[in-house]
Structure 1
Amino acid sequence: MAVEEIDPVSGRVTTGHEWNGIKELDTPVPRGVLMFLIATHIFAVLWWFVMPTWPLGTTYTRGLLDTDQHKIIAEKMAEANAARASWVDALDTKSYDEILADPQLMKVVKETGHRLFGDNCAACHGRDGRGGANYPDLADHDWIWGGGPETIAQTISVGVNSANPDSRVSQMPAFGRDQMLEPAQLHDVALYVHSLSNPDDATPDNVETIEAGRQVFLANCAACHGEDAKGSADVGAPNLTDKYWIYGGDLQTIINTLHGGRQGHMPTWAERLSPADIKILALYVYSLGVENP
């Protein structure tokens, strides 16, 4: 029978293990730690019974409390819908003009619309709706497809060049890349278009070039943008005579646009947002332009 060795310093029994002259003490687990481990195991066992826990093929044990996150979320959604019901019904039944004339409803539209816009539109158009490089500014008064609330709602619903069968469709041809215009013609018409929004750039030295560009414009661009270059909301052709540009209005960018073409894209939101949410967003976007003259 082995004789137990007692550590002379601590008075505890050693385990017989030794490393580099250091002997391991046979120290028991502290009672506090042991009680904590026992308590956590008891808690875990009880939790198995009161909360959804064990998977059972395609389902799971519901637990004595019969609660889970899905049920909690469903209850919160039901509460939120009940709280929204009064003004959602009003939005559904009233026309755009009636809502615009109702300060209380417009307050709800702006609060709710701001959140919807931030969640779904701000990634491209910015939190303030001012857009950015290659994305339209929604807070001005320049609209490609028309800026009335009903028109905005339709654009949100079907999108532009989207997968929706009723999508708005628009494309700027690549006049240079597809060799529809000669390089000299491309430069002349770009200079003409640039002069429409920058009339001071027209000088006696380039007046003949600008006139040559106008003739190219009338033959190739007026069908969409109009002979006056004011654009057409029917085909999504922008006004070329103002200072509002999606891709940039400097001469080089206009040349790039004419050469390579443009085809913007806006997704269809008809399957992701409810009709009420689309109506709220349309009114909210419309209000951005009204409040930013």
Structure 2
Amino acid sequence: MALNERDPVTGRETTGHVWNGIKELDTPVPRGVLMFLIVTHIWAIGWWFLVPAWPLGSTYTKGILGVDQRTAVAQSVAEGRRERASWVAKIESEPYETVLADPAFMQTVRQTGNQLFGDNCAACHGRDGRGRAGYPNLTDNDWLWGGSPETIEQTLRVGINSSHAESRVAMMPAFGRDGMLERQQVSNVASYVFSLSHPDYVTEETSGKIDAGREVFVASCAACHGENAKGNREVGAPNLTDDHWIYGGDLQTITSSIYGGREGHMPTWNDRLSDGEIRTLSLYVHDLGTRQP
């Protein structure tokens, strides 16, 4: 086939390539595309000279414009700190009651606290603070150690079962695994605890087991949870008579908790967050638990 053959319809020469009887035309690149490529190349080359672009061992080309992203970020952070300085000072110095009584200031606390909570607490307690298995719900106003801002601040600072010298310490013994109770006693006391929040569980068939479980509870559990099973915030023992559960309130989970024990952990934030951040989080978490829906 002749290399200079022309297509009878368009008049353009062909390339000599044929696929399934279809001949390829030697069509030039559109002028607009060429101009676009030329302009973008000129722009790229010019940009190399204007802004930081090429690494040079331990340094890099600085660019004529002197653009420095690190400096820009540092300036932005410094500006943000200056903007927050006034209300951070108030957070750190004013009593909690004063801040709580200021609706406009509490709006700022909610906005800033939401960001701090998302960055530091949401991994365990959830973005909405509602917790999950093994991590308390912070929105239900049901507290292990107390829900005042002062108490929450203390918990944040020292943690629970943490490395802090003044850490709060709380542990549910493994009554079954460690042989403190026999299997039947574990089953009986689990039935009793389950009945406290599920009164319909009490029937003629279960009443004997529940009564036996109460005797075990008084002897082995009341020291922490109280004889009325309503818990003790001094030792972080939960109320067993309501429908708020950390690990689960079904009979099987309660049995597992009694048999194998539980030992939660909350890190100390005293060395990770500033005083202003801890106090902001204390107010935010308190607000989560007490805010009206």
- The one-character-per-residue Cα deviations of 1:64-108 (angstroms, maximum 9, x if unpaired) are 122233333222222222222221111111122222223332222
1:134 equivalent in alignment to 2:134:
yes
**What is the Cα deviation at residue 192 of structure 1?**
2.2
Query: Helix, strand or coil: the match of 1:67?
Result: coil
Mapped contact 2:162–2:265 kept (Cα < 8 A): yes
CA distance in 2, matches of 1:31, 1:200: 83
Using structure 2 for the length normalisation, give the TM-score: 0.83
* Contact persistence 2:7–2:14 (CA under 8 A): no
**Aligned equivalents of 2:168, 2:132: Cα separation in 1:** 21
> 1 CA distance for matches of 2:152 and 2:291?
16
Cα deviation for residue 200 of structure 1 reads 5.7
Matches within 5 A, 1:155-166: 155-166=155-166
Answer yes or no: is the 8 Å Cα contact 2:7–2:25 preserved in 1: no
Aligned mates of 1:248, 1:43 — CA distance in 2: 62
The amino acid across from 2:192 in the alignment is Y
**For residues 49 and 255 of structure 1, what CA distance do their matches in structure 2 show?**
71
Map 1:1-293 onto structure 2 (within 5 A).
Answer: 5=4, 7=6, 9=8, 17-19=16-18, 29-199=29-199, 201-202=201-202, 206-292=206-292
How far 1:117 moved relative to its partner?
A: 2.6
Gaps of 5+ in 2: none
Post-superposition offset of 1:146: 1.6
Q: Give the Å deviation of 1:124.
A: 3.6
Task: Report the Cα distance in structure 2 between the residues aligned to 1:61 and 1:169, rounded to whole angstroms.
Answer: 56
Q: Deviations over 1:4-33 (max 9, x none)?
A: 846374666677x55578777666554433
Percent of aligned positions that are identical: 60
Contact 1:158–1:268 at 8 Å: present in 2 too?
yes
Which shifted more, 183-192 or 102-111?
Answer: 102-111
Paired with 2:178 and 2:187, the residues of 1 have a C-alpha distance of 15
Which structure 1 segments of 5+ residues have no match? none
Q: Which moved more, 1:193-202 or 1:73-82?
A: 193-202
CA pair 30-246 structure 1, distance change in 2 beyond 3 A: closer
- Matches of 2:30 and 2:195, distance apart in 1: 87
Preserved CA contact (<8 Å) 1:139 1:292: no
Structure 1's 259 and 26: CA in aligned 2 closer, same or farther, altered over 3 A? Answer: same
Which deviates more, 226-235 or 56-65?
226-235
Given that residues 231 and 238 in structure 1 are in contact (C-alpha distance below 8 angstroms), is that contact kept between their aligned partners in structure 2? yes
**TM-score using structure 1 length:** 0.83
Quickly say closer, same or farther: Cα 1:219–1:8, change in 2 above 3 A: closer
Deviation by residue 1:30-51 (Cα, 9 ceiling, x = unmatched): 4433333332222111111111
Q: Is the 8 A contact 1:226 1:232 kept in 2?
A: yes
1:139 CA displacement? 1.9
Residues in 2 aligned to 1:34 and 1:204: alpha-carbon distance in whole angstroms: 90
Contact 2:160 2:268 in 1 (8 A): yes
* Alpha-carbon shift at residue 274 of structure 1 (Å): 2.7
The alpha-carbon distance between structure 1 residues 14 and 187, as it changes in their structure 2 partners (threshold 3 A), is closer
Give the SS at the match of 2:188. Answer: helix
Q: Deviations over 1:124-172 (max 9, x none)?
A: 4344433333331212232112211122122223333345554433221
How many aligned positions are there? Answer: 290
